[in-house]
Amino acid sequence: MFCYQCEQTVGGTGCTKVGVCGKNEDIQSLQDTLLYGLKGIAAYAYHARELGAIDKEVDAFMHEALFKTVTNVSFDLNQYIALVLKCGYINIKVMELLDKAHTQRFGSPMPTEVETGTKKGPCILVTGHDLLDLYELLRQTEGTGVNVYTHGEMLPAHGYPELKKFKHLAGNYGGAWQEQKKEFKEFPGALLATTNCVLIPPENTYLDRLFTVGITGVPGSKRVERRDFSELIKKAKSLPSLHESSSKKIMTGFHYTAVLGLADKIINAVKTGKIKHFFLVGGCDGAKPGRNYYTEFAEMVPDDCVILTLACGKYRFNKIDFGNIEGIPRLIDLGQCNDAYSAIKIAEALAGAFKTDVNGLPLTLVLSWFEQKAVAILLSLLYLNIKGMHIGPTPPAFVSKNVFSVLQEKFDLKLITNPKDDLDKILKK
Ligand code: SF4
């Protein structure tokens, strides 16, 4: 890498090793954090824009913050700290924008039981987060005899009235994105990737029946233009059918409006000591070892506690029956990374009901990070001054030691250790 400040190769003779362009590694770290946060914001903004929703303040921030990462534009550490926190604020705005765009177009999600078994017939499996793509596909497949299944991250779609009304939205197939290579190979029908997290198929497997649309791209896959899914539907009809199989049903659709409908019950259960603590166990999943932590943690949570969850991490434990407390489910699935706004609204509403702030609630956030939206969400939580969060499975590589120490000091941010010790410490407080 070339350093424009020293005009030589980084690491070469005379290099001060403080980072490119003479910046110290903390500024570099904050710039990288900002870039990851911006990528997360861009993902939300893209989906919102596809649904006709834009926000000038979000767009202006994208320009300002990106410009701030340009070579030799600023060496002021405090400016970057402020900008990183503003990134968290802007991310809340854009998540709200997307939530409104989704609910205005597809209705407010409601708790819904989703099939994980399969129906006999030709089939299409859809991955990604783009609800508009799914809606168009459902519209175009209606009456064709082709069943449509959601894979992993598309699960929350089943809770939206305008999507669940399609009877051939047959169920949720498989687990999180990192299972694609195995599960897409086994799925006999056509496959559609709408957004992240899509993987490159292993050689000689399913590339010939993989279609990509919008932002996605996989070399060799078939492109869908202008949401015309006719080729995909034709392909699905030419492929072998799925067999009838039964499996567990799972719940989704706990949008904040649905959870707040249970507010009186929840508040009463807390006041009478039936609910002792809430855990938000959520975030992205990945293939790296160490991510079992979250499943083990969820399994160890005592019976008088409620687990709120969102995003891909939950696919490791969302088929477990956690039961309920006085009719309140002990596992409440708020959706995916695109639905994180619901978690913030619920926490704020509970804080209001108990006349405290979010830090005063019996609530602990146990988060797994992987993708850029997870970084943007973490910045939002820091902007909201939420303290004592546990993150893992490893510290983000782009966060320098000094920056991480500041986060630990200011926000009591903790790295996960092992589920039992962490849980004991949280509940002893
Ligand atoms: S929740 Fe995170 S890991 Fe899962 S698909 Fe979305 S971005 Fe990828």
Amino acid code (one letter) for 198? V
> Checking phi first, is residue 364 left (phi over 0); if not, alpha (psi -120 to 50) or beta?
beta
- What are 317-373's pLDDT values in tens digits? 999 999 999 999 999 999 999 999 999 999 999 999 999 999 999 999 999 987 899
Provide the residue range defining the domain that includes 349. 254-428
Cα of 429 from ligand 1 centre, angstroms: 32
Residues 394 and 307 in one domain: yes
Residue 289 belongs to domain with CATH number: 3.40.50.2030
CB atoms within 10 A of CB 420: 11
Residue 211 CB-density burial (10 A; 0-12 exposed, 13-18 middle, 19+ buried): buried
pLDDT of residue 244: 96
Residue nearest to atom 5 of ligand 1 (CA): 197
Residues 407 and 281 in one domain: yes
Residues 308 and 367 in one domain: yes
Residues 222 and 260 in one domain: no
Residues 140 and 26 in one domain: no
Q: Which residues have CB under 6 Å of ligand 1?
A: 153, 177, 196-197, 284-285, 311-312, 336-337, 370-371, 373
Residue 237's nearest CA partner among 297, 189, 271 is: 189
Cα–Cα dist 407/26, whole Å: 12
Q: Determine contact, residues 244/149, Cβ cutoff 8 Å.
A: no
Looking up tokens 């991310």 gives 91
pLDDT of residue 290: 72
pLDDT of residue 240: 98
pLDDT of residue 74: 85
- What are 242-289's pLDDT values in tens digits? 999 998 999 999 999 999 999 999 999 999 999 999 999 998 888 777
Q: Which atom of ligand 1 is nearest to the CA of 153?
A: 5
Residue after which a domain boundary falls, among 206, 238, 270? 238
CB atoms within 10 A of CB 104: 12
Note the pTM of the prediction, 2 decimals: 0.93
Cα of 373 from ligand 1 centre, angstroms: 8
Residue 6's nearest CA partner among 293, 337, 20, 184 is: 20
pLDDT of residue 429: 77
Give how far Cα 122 sits from Cα of 117, 119, 166, 212, Å: 15, 9, 16, 19
Residues 165 and 267 in one domain: no
Structurally, the chain folds into a number of domains equal to 3
Residue after which a domain boundary falls, among 61, 86, 106? 106
**Mutational pocket test of ligand 1: of 129, 179, 196, 315, the residue with most ligand atoms within 8 Å of the beta carbon:** 196
Residues 418 and 388 in one domain: yes
Residues of the chain with pLDDT below 70 are 1-23
pLDDT of residue 260: 95
Task: Give 152's DSSP letter.
Answer: G
Q: Give domain status of residue 264, yes or no.
A: yes
Dig out the tokens for 225 from the structure: 């233009």
Residue after which a domain boundary falls, among 80, 106, 132? 106
Residues 156 and 261 in one domain: no
Cα–Cα dist 282/307, whole Å: 9
